[in-house]
């Protein structure tokens, strides 16, 4: 009884997570009991709207109840304006994914899929707040396991014999095996850190590291953690799962993998490397190599893809490299640039997968040939896809351009000319021309070619239309008026005391 009373403040601070968890279970229960006899469409809509309601409630709670600075459960979790900001961003992304999922024709499991999306969201929220190595690992697994299953949730049958569900299952297994190995490495790295610091708290680790920044044990731990997290953010050379998963997973699942989980993983990266391992040596060089590889390999490999999803996967690899630049010089001061970049990237990637999801439901393939004449079959989808791709390529006045500009300016401000970060910025700027090339390769069939004979207009479900339009509007507004969001980020960082 005493223990329960003791846990109440912690539960109160974790109310968003609790809301999501309870409503997820409620959605599952309703779906399996009351709605069992209903049509799939109705079940899907009920479960998804319940999930969206949970996200909205959690967002409202986070916005109305921002604690200036507090730690929960004896310092295991942090709750401040910065974590609240990142959590709100991820909840918005998850809500969009749920809305897209509503119209998906891929899965036959309404309650289960919503449950998985919400659990993954809980994992992301905890990951942002966690200040303890063990809790970080647990929340990362809570995030990853639902994503593995969501990748496989494809019940379609293809016309030409091979079922796409088998394809999805293969990708899911690949994702699971890669993810499992990376988790193991991460855990091993964490255990070495624990051996060093005698504590799992990030703050204690930081103190221990400061005392002995050059230990070989620490170097091993850092390397293991970099590799483990490198898998999660799909940075080269740990990116091999990404193209397969992006290609074979249902588009709405891929949207979650490309958007929300990216934001969570990068925030985790920031926390571990700036709060825990600030004074450790050697990791900047590792990250520099990984960033250079990711930028070059991701951009160049994307130019030869014939499938838009694989193309986006390689572009995601390149973007992971861009974001790693933020860690190379003055990491803490680069946080606003990193946050702006990762959130605008997630919006654009999510929007692009929203377009792909609508096309998937309409039976349009995702090869470049299948996109021929898209602008005449559906000007809205083609126009939105152009906006998202141009934002990813960094064409002004879209959000991606300001993200890049701000990130590069922030890195250059702290990197002397002809240092490693400087050359990486040069590489990154050069590769943005390549990014425009592969974006135009997608848009060429969409806008220039005429549609195949007999290909009519593409039906767009109402909810998906609204989501895609809202995301496109967000990308434009964040590009034309970045100061609005930037102001919010800077205030949150200031209040959280990270500056």
List residues near another protein by CB under 8 A: 390, 395-397, 401-402, 405-406, 408-409, 412-413, 417, 425-426, 429-430, 432-433, 436-437, 440, 444, 447-448, 482-483, 486-487, 490
Q: How far is the CB of 431 from another protein (least distance, A)?
A: 9
Give the residue with the Cβ less far from another protein, 194 or 422. 422
% helix, strand, coil for the chain, step of 5: 75, 5, 20
Q: How far is the CB of 402 from another protein (least distance, A)?
A: 8
Sign of the dihedral through C-alpha 240, 242, 243, 248 = positive
Q: How far is the CB of 401 from another protein (least distance, A)?
A: 7
How far is the C-alpha of 330 from the C-alpha of 325, rounded, in Å?
Answer: 10
Could you tell me which residues are beta bridge partners of residue 130? Answer: 77
Q: How many secondary structure helices (H) and strands (E) does the chain include? A: 21, 2
Give the residue with the Cβ less far from another protein, 65 or 444. 444
| DSSP notation for 17-83 | HHHHHHHHHHHHHHHHTGGGGS-HHHHHHHHHHHHHHHHHHHHHHHHH---SEEEETTTTEEEEHHH
Are 438 and 315 within 8 A, CB to CB? yes
Q: How far is the CB of 497 from another protein (least distance, A)?
A: 19
Buried b (16+ CB within 10 A) or exposed e, 442-456: bbebbbebebeeeee
Q: How far is the CB of 80 from another protein (least distance, A)?
A: 21
Q: How far is the CB of 296 from another protein (least distance, A)?
A: 15
Q: How far is the CB of 386 from another protein (least distance, A)?
A: 9
3-class DSSP state for residue 280?
coil
Q: How far is the CB of 174 from another protein (least distance, A)?
A: 34
Which alpha helices (H) appear in 130-163, and where do they start and end?
Answer: 133-152
Give the residue with the Cβ less far from another protein, 183 or 432. 432
How far is the C-alpha of 315 from the C-alpha of 477, rounded, in Å?
Answer: 23
Sign of the dihedral through C-alpha 470, 472, 475, 481 = negative
How far is the C-alpha of 234 from the C-alpha of 239, rounded, in Å?
Answer: 4
């Amino acid at each position: 009884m005493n223990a329960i009373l003791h846990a109440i403040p912690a539960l109160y601070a974790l109310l968003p997570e609790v809301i999501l968890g309870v409503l997820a279970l409620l959605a599952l229960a309703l779906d399996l009991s009351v709605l069992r006899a209903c049509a799939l469409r109705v079940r899907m809509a009920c479960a998804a709207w319940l999930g969206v309601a949970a996200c909205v409630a959690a967002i409202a709670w986070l916005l109305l109840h921002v604690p200036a600075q507090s730690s929960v459960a004896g310092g295991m979790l942090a709750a401040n304006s910065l974590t609240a900001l990142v959590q709100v961003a991820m909840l918005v992304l998850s809500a969009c994914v749920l809305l897209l999922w509503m119209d998906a024709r891929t899965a036959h499991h309404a309650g289960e899929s919503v449950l998985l999306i919400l659990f993954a969201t809980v994992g992301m929220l905890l990951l942002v707040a966690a200040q303890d190595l063990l809790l970080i690992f647990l929340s990362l697994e809570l995030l990853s396991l639902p994503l593995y299953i969501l990748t496989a949730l494809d019940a379609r049958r293809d016309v030409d014999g091979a079922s796409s569900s088998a394809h999805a299952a293969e990708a899911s297994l690949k994702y699971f095996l890669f993810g499992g190995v990376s988790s193991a490495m991460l855990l091993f790295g964490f255990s070495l850190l624990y051996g060093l610091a005698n504590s799992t708290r990030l703050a204690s680790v930081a103190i221990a590291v400061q005392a002995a920044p050059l230990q070989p044990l620490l170097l091993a731990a850092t390397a293991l953690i970099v590799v483990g997290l490198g898998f999660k953010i799909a940075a080269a050379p740990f990116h091999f799962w990404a193209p397969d998963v992006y290609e074979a997973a249902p588009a709405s699942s891929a949207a979650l993998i490309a958007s929300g989980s990216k934001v969570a993983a990068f925030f985790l990266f920031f926390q571990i490397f700036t709060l825990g391992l600030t004074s450790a040596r050697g990791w900047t060089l590792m990250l520099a190599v990984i960033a250079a590889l990711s930028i070059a390999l991701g951009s160049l490999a994307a130019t030869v893809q014939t499938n838009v999803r694989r193309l986006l996967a390689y572009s995601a690899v390149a973007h992971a490299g861009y974001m790693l630049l933020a860690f190379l010089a003055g990491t803490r001061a680069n946080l606003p640039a990193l946050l702006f970049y990762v959130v605008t990237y997630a919006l654009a990637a999510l929007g692009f997968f929203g377009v792909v999801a609508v096309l998937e439901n309409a039976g349009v393939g995702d090869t470049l040939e299948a996109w021929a004449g898209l602008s005449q079959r559906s000007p809205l989808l083609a126009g939105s896809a152009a906006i998202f791709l141009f934002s990813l390529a960094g064409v002004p006045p879209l959000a991606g351009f300001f993200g890049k500009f701000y990130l590069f300016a922030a890195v250059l401000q702290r990197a002397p000319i002809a240092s490693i970060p400087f050359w990486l910025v040069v590489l990154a700027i050069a590769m943005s021309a390549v990014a425009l090339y592969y974006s135009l390769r997608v848009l060429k069939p969409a806008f220039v070619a005429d549609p195949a004979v007999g290909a009519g207009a593409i039906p767009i479900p109402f909810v998906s239309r609204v989501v895609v339009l809202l995301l496109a509007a967000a990308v434009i507004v964040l590009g034309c008026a970045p100061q609005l969001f930037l102001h919010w980020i800077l205030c949150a960082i200031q209040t959280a005391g990270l500056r």
